[in-house]
Amino acid sequence: MNQHVSALLIGLVGAGITLSASLQPFVSPTQCVTIGLLVIIFGLLVKEGFISLSLLVYSKDGRSRNLRWNGNGATSSIECGVFLHDSPLSTNSSSSSSPSVASTLRSWIALNMKESNLSRGNLDQLLVAAEEGGEKMIKVKKDGSADFKTVTDAVNSIPSGNARRVVIWIGGGEFWEKITIDRTKKFVTFYGDPYNMPRIVYNGTAADYGTVNSATVAVESDYFVAVNVAFVNSAPIPDGRRCGAQAVAMRISGDKAAFYNCRFIGYQDTLCDDKGRHFFQDCYIQGTVDFIFGNGKSLYLNTTMYSVAKKFGAITAQAREKVNDDSGFTFVFCNITGIGNNTTYLGRAWKERPRVVFARTYMGTIINGEGWSNDRHPDRDRTVYYGEYKCSGPGSVSSARVKFARILSDEEAKLFMSMTYIHGSNWLLPPPKF
């Protein structure tokens, strides 16, 4: 309900009270007319935006979540109403905290990205130098009508020590390739045809390559960008009998990487968010167990996690281990769905000190009521940092949540819900368009 509709309803109530002045037995007609007029004035103030109903809704929302979960979708419409009115935290769109509603997500990004241009002062100087002269474009098409037929050949054409942005434009179709971009090849962008998204597919498994080297695409260099690309590992779903059946679709081990509108498809260990600072926006990630794992420090925005776990699944296995490891995964304005019910945990404490936060994320019935798993290490109950902030949907905070799940305050959440979390102002540029 927007403020105009609320105001209209309040106005109608006021008018009703005024008109019933001589019909009701409770107070004198004059008092009744006065009350009616006051209600109408209140309505006008709401309409003009002097009084916001959001605070009322917000405080109701704030602490009563345990009562809301009832194991089906019934709460989502209430959540939706709450979603539209929001906390004071997010009303300042020029601050670094995330915006209140999905529709303002875009404008918030636009606003933040507007300052993300080469002329801003604090930008990483290596990056400025690489971008300044304009990019070098290499085209890949399967039909041989461009520079190369395979992505591998295009990557091989980039010299070691590359210091300039190189865009590999990739036409549609399926590319059966296993690719590694080593650390000497910085500033590489994969840009898929937006109208015909290319899929890079391979079926390496841990049994054949070791887990981290099973990746279809592994990026070890800094300043990598991918736009409109599907990274797929097509190895079969682990059946619990074959050893080393886990299979990575993409591994990102370089610092300062960004992914826009990409898809990551696999089962166990789909996305190895290995190390460095990363940004994911408008992506789709499919998996079963630990489908986002590693020791990276990443912000996921407007990204869908789709669980296909049959019995047990875990979205994250964040691998923070030491107290001074500056890593963690933060999900803001994301969406968790999948096939099945009650199968999937938000995180599994694979290592000692994982740090994972879900904020303003929709959680479907796929999420197990307990929410988080200590991976049968009770001592990790004290060392994990597993936070939730204003999430919605039947899988969001329930009475069955484990004790070590944290419900974050506005103040605590602020830290995570911002580009500053990944030091974005130092390196993040808007997605390129060609």
Among the listed residues 92, 107, 156, 196, the single contact to ligand NAG using CB under 6 A? 92
CA angle, residues 413, 105, 292, in degrees to nearest 5: 60
Q: Using CB under 6 A, which of the segments 34-42, 87-95, 351-359, 411-419 binds ligand NAG?
A: 87-95
The active-site residue, picked from 290, 326, 379, 410, is 290
**Is position 335 an interface residue for ligand NAG (rule: CB under 6 A)?**
yes
Residue 296, Cα to own-chain centre: how many angstroms?
A: 14
Question: Distance between CA atoms of 104 and 89, rounded to whole angstroms?
Answer: 14
Residues 170, 190 contacting (CB under 8 angstroms): yes
Among the listed residues 66, 95, 107, 157, the single contact to ligand NAG using CB under 6 A? 95
Which two structure tokens, joined as six digits, stand for 211? 């887990």
Q: State in angstroms the smallest separation of the CB of 401 from ligand NAG.
A: 12
CA distances from 252 to 102, 271, 307 (A): 27, 8, 21
Q: State in angstroms the smallest separation of the CB of 15 from ligand NAG.
A: 34
Residues 175, 200 contacting (CB under 8 angstroms): yes
Tokens 């886990």 locate to 246
Residue 281, Cα to own-chain centre: how many angstroms?
A: 7
Nearer to ligand NAG, 185 or 300 (CB): 300
Residue 206, Cα to own-chain centre: how many angstroms?
A: 27
CA distances from 93 to 11, 104, 356, 410 (A): 30, 9, 25, 16
Q: State in angstroms the smallest separation of the CB of 203 from ligand NAG.
A: 4
Residues 6+ apart with CB under 8 A from 121: none
Closest CA to 430 of 287, 227, 222: 227
Would residue 290 show up in a list of annotated catalytic residues for this protein? Answer: yes
E-only strand ranges, 54-212: 136-140, 166-170, 174-176, 179-181, 188-192, 199-202
- Range 53-72, binding ligand NAG (CB under 6 A): 71-72
Q: State in angstroms the smallest separation of the CB of 35 from ligand NAG.
A: 35
- Range 288-327, binding ligand NAG (CB under 6 A): 302, 304
Nearer to ligand NAG, 71 or 172 (CB): 71
Q: State in angstroms the smallest separation of the CB of 57 from ligand NAG.
A: 19
Among the listed residues 31, 45, 115, 128, the single contact to ligand NAG using CB under 6 A? 115
Tokens 């619990």 locate to 240
Nearer to ligand NAG, 120 or 322 (CB): 120
Among the listed residues 20, 34, 213, 342, the single contact to ligand NAG using CB under 6 A? 342
Among the listed residues 3, 162, 180, 203, the single contact to ligand NAG using CB under 6 A? 203
Residues 53, 3 contacting (CB under 8 angstroms): yes
Q: Using CB under 6 A, which of the segments 222-230, 323-331, 334-342, 371-379 binds ligand NAG?
A: 334-342
Nearer to ligand NAG, 106 or 322 (CB): 106
What's the sign of the alpha-carbon dihedral 228, 155, 298, 125? negative
- Interaction mask 345-384, ligand NAG, x per CB under 6 A: -----------------x--x--xx---------------
Q: State in angstroms the smallest separation of the CB of 80 from ligand NAG.
A: 9
Residues 258, 277 contacting (CB under 8 angstroms): no
**Is position 341 an interface residue for ligand NAG (rule: CB under 6 A)?**
yes
**Is position 119 an interface residue for ligand NAG (rule: CB under 6 A)?**
yes
Backbone angles phi, psi at 336, to 5 degrees: -115, 120
Question: Distance between CA atoms of 278 and 285, rounded to whole angstroms?
Answer: 15
Among the listed residues 127, 138, 226, 235, the single contact to ligand NAG using CB under 6 A? 235
Q: Using CB under 6 A, which of the segments 77-85, 213-221, 337-345, 349-357 binds ligand NAG?
A: 337-345
User: CA torsion, points 316, 320, 321, 323, in degrees to nearest 10?
Assistant: -140
Question: Distance between CA atoms of 332 and 165, rounded to whole angstroms?
Answer: 29
- Range 4-43, binding ligand NAG (CB under 6 A): none
Using CB under 6 A, count the residues that bind ligand NAG: 30
Among the listed residues 34, 213, 337, 383, the single contact to ligand NAG using CB under 6 A? 337
Tokens 């049994």 locate to 207
**Is position 340 an interface residue for ligand NAG (rule: CB under 6 A)?**
yes
User: Which residues would be at the binding site for ligand NAG (CB under 6 A)?
Assistant: 71-72, 92, 94-95, 102, 105-106, 114-115, 117, 119-120, 203, 205, 235-236, 282, 302, 304, 335, 337, 339-342, 362, 365, 368-369
> Which residues does the annotation mark as catalytic?
290
